[in-house]
Amino acid sequence: MKLSKLILGCICLLLSFSLYAQKETNKNHSCLKCHAHRTYKYMNEDFGMEIKESMCSNRMIDTLAYQQSNHGMFKCTDCHSPEYETFPHAGNLRMELMYACNDCHAGDPEYAKFHFEAIEEAFYESMHYNRSPDAFTCWSCHNPHTYKTQARIGEKISETVSYDNNICLSCHADVSKYELLTERENINILKSHEWLPNQELHFKNVRCIECHTQLSDSLLVSHVVMSKDSAIRECTSCHSANSHLMASLYRYKSLESRKGSGFLNAVIINESYVIGANRNKYLNILSVVIFGLVLIGIFTHTIFRIFKSK
């Protein structure tokens, strides 16, 4: 009798969990049945006919990217007005203000390690905000439906570089989005970086923010974007023993697998070799010894020549 009750209890628990999981899976169905597709349908009650319309591209949601994002566990109405559950949507809902990061994350001990308050302060110093304070927000760079933490958890530096640079290029390589934020003519990235040797290699292995942001002692990713006149142009800023990359791109990378071989900034060499930044102390010593031996050889040879000539 006790066994049968135990089995029945387990079955009920599994059913409850299954129903909960199904509910969680379908919690955004009423929104995504339209916003996850290029087209949507609705019934025109006045004429008694079904209408098929195209969904605006900027209103479409990539469901897979959303589920994998930092916010993928939320219901749409956690951030958007519950009035959106009524269709057709009221026109005034378009005017609702979007939440900023600190509306949810500020003062929360769980997110203290991300330093959201410091990020906000840095953001207000950024040239992006100061040039377009009414138009430029957190979401201008970090799409709330797709953004996910990359620099802190990314296994490969190359993936972090690609992900972060695509954030910059989402505006600087997209005229339609760029024009929403400024009246300036869109910048030609390749032309404006003509001075940079081996452009392709740099763009592939270094983030835009390595040169275009102010270094921060407390933040993993600096949010103080500087003007182009303040951007780093000195090769030795990265190509040196005291490489700028160690305080930015490789700051939290801890794969020191080649440290025992004597390489400076060994973490960099796990993914690439940066001339000047990855010198090997043993090879440095060996080169000095060889150079010294060569000098001794020349000196000895000269002495013998002098004595022999006498």
Give the pLDDT means over successive 10-residue stretches in the chain (310 positions): 59 51 66 93 87 91 92 92 90 87 88 89 93 89 87 72 90 87 82 89 89 84 89 84 69 47 49 54 76 87 76
Q: Name the pTM for this structure.
A: 0.67
The C-alpha angle 58, 60, 65, rounded to 5 degrees, equals: 110
Regarding whether 212 and 87 lie in a shared domain, the answer is: yes
Query: Pick from 187, 204, 233: which residue ends a domain?
Result: 233
The token pair that represents 164 in the structure block: 């972060």
> What pLDDT, on the 0 to 100 scale, is given for residue 247?
66
Q: Residue 210: count other Cβ atoms within 10 Å of its Cβ.
A: 22
> What pLDDT, on the 0 to 100 scale, is given for residue 23?
52
> What pLDDT, on the 0 to 100 scale, is given for residue 5?
57
d(CA 292, CA 290): 5
Residue 120 lies in a domain: yes
Residue 10 lies in a domain: no
Residues in the chain: 310
Structural domain boundaries, residue 283: 236-293
> What pLDDT, on the 0 to 100 scale, is given for residue 48?
85
Regarding whether 71 and 219 lie in a shared domain, the answer is: yes
Regarding whether 228 and 240 lie in a shared domain, the answer is: no
d(CA 154, CA 162): 11
Residue 70 lies in a domain: yes
Residue 217 lies in a domain: yes
The C-alpha angle 78, 81, 86, rounded to 5 degrees, equals: 115
The token pair that represents 270 in the structure block: 């796990």
3-state secondary structure of 295: helix
Query: Pick from 233, 255, 283: which residue ends a domain?
Result: 233
Regarding whether 80 and 218 lie in a shared domain, the answer is: yes
The token pair that represents 17 in the structure block: 């969990």
Regarding whether 79 and 206 lie in a shared domain, the answer is: yes
Regarding whether 136 and 76 lie in a shared domain, the answer is: yes
Query: Pick from 189, 213, 233: which residue ends a domain?
Result: 233
Regarding whether 86 and 166 lie in a shared domain, the answer is: yes
Regarding whether 241 and 159 lie in a shared domain, the answer is: no
Residue 120: half-sphere exposure toward Cβ, Cα within 13 Å: 11
3-state secondary structure of 1: coil
**Domain count across the chain:** 2
d(CA 215, CA 278): 21
Regarding whether 158 and 94 lie in a shared domain, the answer is: yes
